[in-house]
Structure 1
Amino acid sequence: MKLALKEATIAVLLPCYNEEQTIGKVVDDFRKALPTATIYVYDNNSTDKTASIAQSKGAVVRPEPRQGKGNVIRAMFEDIDADVYVMADGDDTYPAENAPAMVDKILEGYDMVIGDRLSSTYFQENKRPFHNVGNRLVRSAINGIFGAQVKDIMTGYRAFSFTYVKCYPILSHGFEVETEMTIHSLDRNLRLYEMPVQYRDRPKGSHSKLNTVGDGIRVLSTIFRMIREYKPLPFFGGCGLLIDLVGFGFLLSVMFEFWRTGSVPRIPTLIGSVLLILVGLLSIITGIVLDVLAKNDRRAYIHTSNLFAYLHRRQREHEANRSEQ
């Protein structure tokens, strides 16, 4: 049952931390773009007037004491029920005008719509060169590993279906959550749609909460962790193969000396090479076992998402029948 835009319940999610300069305009823009949507502002321990300004603009304001964007999004996904979710930042860097088109794509059946900044104005507007390098690095790494062609891995402007929101397990605490979302979606083979959006840098006087080095390290560690979890066979198998090659290299040197002299003078090298080969084989076996578990986890995710989709359809049908009576 495909819903029309005017029939769907829409939630606009705005995680905020000290955004008093821009949050009022952001709420007004999304109110104009999506008049029927409920706008939620989750205040993440702001020390300025972010919460009061958002409330005065008619947004539903809720506090989230656990610091970090990942924690805020996790709370939003747990608390809010809607047919379509639109997530953006409260810093006025994303245009609300794209939101209706993103909602339409979710209603067409996509699981997640990605607001692609990098294909439009991001590299011209963003004044932080290390962020540009980081975006390119992360994009190349993830697309190479998962065989994908996602253009913007780390964008904060996205739309989600009900099923995606309720089945997605958020583990990240901070800004690395967007990277985690993309990797999760690629691993689960979800229906993704990328929509180019115009990016604008923060207005003068508004300061980014990103730490180039600290958040960059967190993003890279998230990629490393999720590759280990989602691609265990290539990860552990590759490590095991490398260790085995080193072990065989040492073993061949000992065997060559044995063939030449008839003795084995380097006993420690022989023992070390055999141990390296065993460690490599154990790593490969570990990768095989974890790969089976990862596939079972994908099956469980598909079963759960299908169940949520079914229950959501039944709920919508029940509401439609009640409204007709």
Structure 2
Amino acid sequence: MPINHSNSSIAVLLPCYNEEVTIGKVVRDFRKALPSSVIYVYDNNSTDRTAEIAESEGAIVRKEPRQGKGNVIRAMFEDIDADVYVMADGDDTYPADDAPDMVAKILDGYDMVIGDRLSSTYFQENKRPFHNFGNRLVRGSINHLFDAQVTDIMTGYRAFSFTFVKTYPVLSRGFEVETEMTIHSLNNNLRLFEMPIQYRDRPEGSVSKLDTVGDGIKVMSTIFRMIREYKPLPFFGGLGLLIGIIGLILCGGVTYEFAKTGLVLHFPTLIGAVMLVITGLLLIIAGIILDVMAKNDRKTFIIDANKFAYIERCNSN
């Protein structure tokens, strides 16, 4: 149920690390786009004047000593209470002008609004080809595995409902947190809305904190881990089926030799084949058990989400 628009509180969340070149403009832009919002800048061990500039522009500045964007977002979600949350980066790559429309969608009942860069100017503005390739790879993998059609999996420009923020478990420590958010939403069948935005590359003098190879490995490992946790039956069942088929093929060869000669000529092959078949069966059984547990986790999540939605409605009334 959508909450009361007129009494809604809005929090703008800006995780920052060494963004003194852009943070002042970002705060001013969001203040202009969302005049009634409270803007929070979480400084993640910056060594420049990021915190000082943000505070001078009227933002509420807080420190997060645990390095990494995931750690900052975890702190933000724990500390701040609001009806609607808008999260962006402090590097001035996301236009604040789109924020009111994103807020409106959350107030209409969506759990998360995704600022879709890839449908507009991202591939023209972003000068890092490996980043573009990584976005396509991650998007294709997740959409295939979760039977979804999300265009921008890894965008940092998002809006959230109170219920989403208070029920979402932030496990990642770094930039892979956006991918984790999307997978979490798809797995739990949350209400998502994608809104195309005009992405722009960093201005002159602003330096990206992304490590193309290192962060790419972290993102792919996050996808691997979450598929294992959220889709255990396809993951373990498929692996078990593959190993079991290899074992059966090897068993078939030994059986054929025995039928022709009356002798088992390759005992090591027979033992290994039987072990492969047993391993395959165990993996399939493990997949079935973990799938039941994953479904129970989704039921628990729905119950918790309903509780927070009830609390939100009571507070808004």
Q: Using structure 2 for the length normalisation, give the TM-score.
A: 0.99
Residue of structure 1 in register with 2:129 after alignment? 129
Residue of structure 2 in register with 1:35 after alignment? 35
Residue of structure 1 in register with 2:65 after alignment? 65
Count of equivalent residues: 317
Q: CA deviation at 1:249?
A: 1.0
Residue of structure 1 in register with 2:270 after alignment? 270
**AA of the residue aligned to 1:143:** N
Q: CA deviation at 1:20?
A: 0.1
Q: Give the secondary-structure state (helix, strand or coil) at the position aligned to 2:119.
A: coil
**AA of the residue aligned to 1:184:** H
Deviations 1:129-163 (A, max 9, x none): 00000000000000000000000000000000000
Residue of structure 2 in register with 1:203 after alignment? 203
Does the 8 Å contact 1:95/1:197 carry over to 2? yes
Q: Distance in 1 between matches of 2:86 and 2:9?
A: 11
200-209 or 1-10, which deviates more: 1-10
Q: CA deviation at 1:18?
A: 0.1
**AA of the residue aligned to 2:272:** G
Runs of 5+ unmatched residues, structure 1: 318-325
Residue of structure 2 in register with 1:55 after alignment? 55
Does the 8 Å contact 2:4/2:316 carry over to 1? no
Does the 8 Å contact 1:6/1:36 carry over to 2? no
Q: CA deviation at 1:4?
A: 5.0
**AA of the residue aligned to 2:113:** V
Q: CA deviation at 1:191?
A: 0.1
**AA of the residue aligned to 2:182:** T
Residue of structure 1 in register with 2:190 after alignment? 190
Q: Give the secondary-structure state (helix, strand or coil) at the position aligned to 1:14.
A: strand
Does the 8 Å contact 2:3/2:313 carry over to 1? no
Residue of structure 2 in register with 1:321 after alignment? none
Residue of structure 2 in register with 1:162 after alignment? 162
Q: Distance in 1 between matches of 2:311 and 2:205?
A: 46
Q: Distance in 2 between matches of 1:297 and 1:134?
A: 30
Deviations 1:221-240 (A, max 9, x none): 00000000000000000000
Residue of structure 1 in register with 2:180 after alignment? 180
**AA of the residue aligned to 1:314:** C
Q: Distance in 2 between matches of 1:3 and 1:261?
A: 78
**AA of the residue aligned to 1:118:** L
Residue of structure 2 in register with 1:110 after alignment? 110
Runs of 5+ unmatched residues, structure 2: none
The percentage of aligned residue pairs carrying the same residue is 74
How does 1:1-325 map onto structure 2 within 5 Å?
2-3=2-3, 5-317=5-317
Q: CA deviation at 1:5?
A: 4.2
Q: Give the secondary-structure state (helix, strand or coil) at the position aligned to 1:35.
A: coil
Q: Distance in 2 between matches of 1:164 and 1:142?
A: 20
Does the 8 Å contact 1:40/1:62 carry over to 2? yes
